[in-house]
Structures are given as C-alpha cells and as structure tokens.
Structure 1
Amino acid sequence: MRLLFKQRLFSWFDSYDIYDEAGDTVYTVEGKLSWGHCLHILNAAGEHIGTVQERVLTFLPRFELYIRDQYVGSIQKRFTFFAPKFDIDCNGWQAEGDLLEWDYRVTEACGALVATVHKELFHWTDTYVIDVADPGNALCALMLVLAIDAEKCSRN
C-alpha cells in the first residue's frame, strides 16, 4: 500500500492530508494547540482514529502513539552522531534513516521490512511517500512518520 503524505500549505498548526495511490484522501491530520506537538488523525469520514502526542521535558524527543484513546506505544529518538535512529515501543519495530534524514526504513525485530519512507524534494511543503508492506500497518506507519517529521520540525 502506498500513501502520499502532504503538509498543507497555509496552516497555523501542523496539518496534513494523506492520499492513496488513486489520489483519494485516506487520512487527515490536524495539529492541536498543546505544549509539544499533538497531532490528531482522522479517517476519510472525519472520525478521530489516532493521536501522536509529544512528551516534553525528556532528554531525547519522545512521542506517544494512541489508536482512538488506547495507548499503543511510543517512539523515541536515539542518540547517534550520523544517521538518525528511533526506538519504537510499538509492534517491536525499529526505524533507521539516512544521513540527510529524507529516507527511512521501518523493520520488525527480525529484520522484515514493514515500511519505507521517502521524502520528495521540490515541493512547497513537506511531502513523503510511505510504502507499507501490510495495509493493516498503515495507521501505525503513518503515526511513526508524523512523529519523525515533528521531531525534525522541533529542531529547526
């Protein structure tokens, strides 16, 4: 399953539209006013289905992931000198990026590929392509990409 993740051009808070390969909106992401990033994920019908909430006052950036209101895990950046790495306490996944932080691989603990993320260049706003091996993992993969993008935004 392929998802196209595009940030909205004019928005006071983090807002994104996520499209499928046919160009249909699958998810909408709305940033909420809070201390740290708080991103609400809505399905195509406009129903709240997930949240990515940044935990503040931590040594390294950490985000908690919720499906509906149920805690499902977290993602925390590891201390590294070169390529970014994230520890994911959700499904036993790990995420590792390239040196420029444009491409990421999400893998299971056994090394099996869960998703790849590629940042497209030459767009007015942040645009990512997310390829998910199992469509059942699409929401969790999207939440990871949102957390990684929010972490990058916090640094800039």
Structure 2
Amino acid sequence: MKQLYIKQKVFSMSGKFTVKDQTEKDVYYVEGSFMKVPKTYSIKNSEMNEVALITKKTFSFMPTFFVETENREMVTIKKQFTFLKAKYTIDAAGLEVRGNWWDMNFEVLQNGEVIGAVDKEWFTWGDSYQIEIMKEEMEILLVALVIAIDCAKADQAAASSGSV
C-alpha cells in the first residue's frame, strides 16, 4: 500500500501545489489555470510530463468537471439540481465512491474492490488530504479524483458566498 499527501496553499491565486509521498518527496505537481476559460488543473509527474487534466465545463446549467488521464476522459463530476444541500454525482466506468466524499472521507472501489481511500486531515492551514493507494496502477486517477472533488467543493463554496 502506498500513501500520498496533498497540502494546498491557502492563498495561491493559480492553485499551485504538490503531492508528496511518505518521505515528503514531491511526486506530482498540480497547477490551476489563472484567468483562463475553461478553468483547468494540470497534474504533472516528477519529470514534468502531464499525466492528468481536470477541466471545468464552461457553459453548463450545473457545474461539471471532467478528469482525463492518458488523454481519455475517465471521470465526470456533476452537480445535481437540489434545493437544500449540494449534491454531486461521480460517473466513471467501474468506479464507485463510498463514504462521505463531500467531507473528503471516502473509499474508491473498482468493480467492488477497494483501490484507494481518502481522509481529510483536520486542524491544518489549508486543505490537507491523505490518499491510501491499494492498487498502484490507479494512482494517477485517484490523485486526479481527489483534486477534482476538491475543485467542485471550492466552486460550490465560491458560488454560495457570492449568492449572499
């Protein structure tokens, strides 16, 4: 089992941060686009090659995010129309998220088998997440999924604060 850690910088305008391993070595570099439409987050490996791309759909009634790995769309996260609490769906072939993914405490299953788990670390400056990876070939997709869910949450928070 492998563990990765995401610690986002609170005041980063573009959304730059790294994903580290257990030895605190940078494994992935994440950079959000700044003042660009559509909003994207690029995930690069240690050789600075893009391994995943998260894109927010520009013109849609409800916020929608696409996750691509190996130049293929792998996951779609879409907000559902509800009156009370924000609700999102995650669509991916063979993937299922169980647990409280809105609070970032969940497991990711592929065809019924647990391939990863995510836990938000509380009482930290900025958002910090621990990702446990049980199936290493799914590592990039799991990292991208966590970042995409966090993007959806940030988008919801920004929309909520703007509507007051």
TM-score by length of 2: 0.81
**Cα distance in 1, alignment partners of residues 61 and 77 from structure 2:** 10
**Long gaps (5+) in structure 2:** 158-164
Identity of aligned residues (%): 24
1:127 aligns with 2:153: no
Relative to its length, the structure with more helix (as a share) is: 2
* Equivalence map 1:74-93=2 (5 Å): 74-77=75-78, 79=80, 86-89=89-92, 91-93=93-95
1:61 and 2:69 equivalent? Answer: no
Distance 1:65 1:107 in 2: 17
1:73 Cα shift? 1.9
SS of equivalent to 1:123: coil
For residue 9 of structure 1, report the CA deviation from its aligned partner: 4.1
1:74-122 CA-to-partner distances (Å, cap 9, x unmatched) read 2223647779553232x420223428613122112x3211211111011
Cα displacement string for residues 4-49 of structure 1 (whole angstroms, at most 9, x for unaligned residues): 0111244211122100111111001001132353101111122222
CA distance in 2, matches of 1:48, 1:77: 24
Moved more, 30-39 or 132-141: 30-39
RMSD: 2.3
Q: Partners of 2:13 and 2:79 in 1: how far apart?
A: 29
Q: Is the 8 A contact 1:36 1:55 kept in 2?
A: yes
Aligned residue pairs, count: 153
Secondary structure in 1 aligned to 2:149?
A: helix
- Structure 2 counterpart of 1:155, one-letter code: Q
Structure 1 partner of 2:37: 35
Residue 162 of structure 2 corresponds to none
Q: What stretches of structure 1 of length at least 5 have no aligned partner?
A: none
The structure whose Rg is larger is 2
